[in-house]
Amino acid sequence: MLLVAPAVLLLAGVALYPILATVWLSLHRSILVFHEHRFIGLENWASLLGDARFWASLRTTLYFVAVAVSLELLLGLLFALLLHASFRGRGLLRAAVLVPWAIPTVVAARLWSWLFNADHGLLPALLPGHDVNWLGAPGYALHAAIVVDVWKTTPFVALILLAGLQAIPPELSRAAQLDGAGPLRILGSITLPLLRPAIAVAAVFRGLDAMRVFDAVYALTGGGPANTTETLSIYAYKTLMRSGDFGYGSTIAVATFLCVAVLAGLYLKLVMPNAGGQEA
């Protein structure tokens, strides 16, 4: 206990204390511009339940997570299978795949904002519907942000799945080939079932990260147009920093934390469903 005490104290200082302080602040009406700071109990939470903008940002966040993570898993699996195969130049291809992940998110988002530019961008000129403003039209802007997120983080998923593929004994595939199984049968009956833990880890890690997405969407659209790309993190930031309402902004931040905690709980049930029984 003495040996782990410094680490516990460090985690408590950098993680637990800010969370508890934010929870306490969410129970106050705190607006710095008006020099107002008073305890109001659960009034902020009651307002949150009736806040249509909060529920809209929650739906936007959940849609972003569902679509982006699904595409990243699919593309990551394809890249992992490709990188796992033996061919000339595989090392160069692995290095090239990591380039999007190595670029800072804000830099990547600004790069894509120029590609999506309605007047001079390359993508509007190539894609159908030249008169569409991909970052300024509701229904298009969120999907443009999903494209950026998928491009940026698919290499991360591919790395996790590639590590899972390399842990599968190659003798299983060779034995299946001797029994007459084709590539698709091997993929469906051997590779994917044994790769399920790695897929679960990649899905949850990306789900937790996408649930709190901020920088990519904010750099692309700032939450617009008409708040159609406003995620929970962006809504909390605008309430805290632009409106100066630290009490209600903290309430939104705590609500976002609770959503992430629910996903983390699902992760524990998905990846370690029998952990409690094994310990018992």
> Is 37 a domain residue?
yes
Does 15 reside within a domain? no
Residue 251 belongs to domain spanning: 28-272
Query: Is the omega angle on the peptide bond into residue 170 within 30 degrees of 0, that is, cis?
Result: no
- Distance CA(60)–CA(62), nearest Å, equals 6
Residue 196 sits in a domain whose CATH number is: 1.10.3720.10
pLDDT in tens, the chain (280 residues): 899 999 999 988 998 899 999 999 999 999 888 888 899 989 999 999 999 999 999 999 999 999 999 999 999 999 998 888 877 777 788 788 888 888 888 898 989 988 888 777 788 777 765 677 888 888 889 999 999 999 999 999 999 999 998 888 888 888 888 888 888 888 888 888 888 888 888 888 898 889 989 988 998 888 888 888 999 999 999 998 888 899 999 999 999 999 888 887 877 776 655 544 444 3
Contact yes or no for 111/121 (Cβ under 8 A): no
The two structure tokens encoding residue 56: 């809209």
- The answer as to whether 39 is a domain residue is yes
CA triple 58-31-234, angle to 5 deg? 25
Domain membership flag for residue 7: no
pLDDT at 279: 41
In sequence order, the β-bridge partners of residue 36 are: 31
Q: What is the pTM of this model?
A: 0.86
- C-alpha closest to that of 60 among 279, 263, 225: 225
Q: Which residue from 276, 250, 260, 245 is spatially nearest to 36, judged by alpha carbons? A: 245
In Å, how far are 40, 89, 190 from 86, measured between CA atoms? 64, 9, 19
pLDDT digits (tens, 9 = 90+) for 266-276: 777 766 555 44
Tokens of 81: 């299978």
Task: Give the span between the Cα atoms of 203 and 266, in whole angstroms.
Answer: 11
Spatial contact of 176 and 131, defined as CB atoms under 8 Å apart: no
Number of domains in the chain: 1
Rounded alpha-carbon distances, angstroms, from residue 37 to 20, 25, 26, 27, 92: 18, 9, 11, 10, 58
CB atoms within 10 A of CB 259: 18
The pLDDT of residue 6 is 93
Structure tokens at 269: 């049930």
Angle at 245 between CA 239 and CA 249, to 5 degrees: 50
Q: Does residue 280 form part of some domain?
A: no
Beta bridge partners of 38: 29
**pLDDT of res. 262:** 87
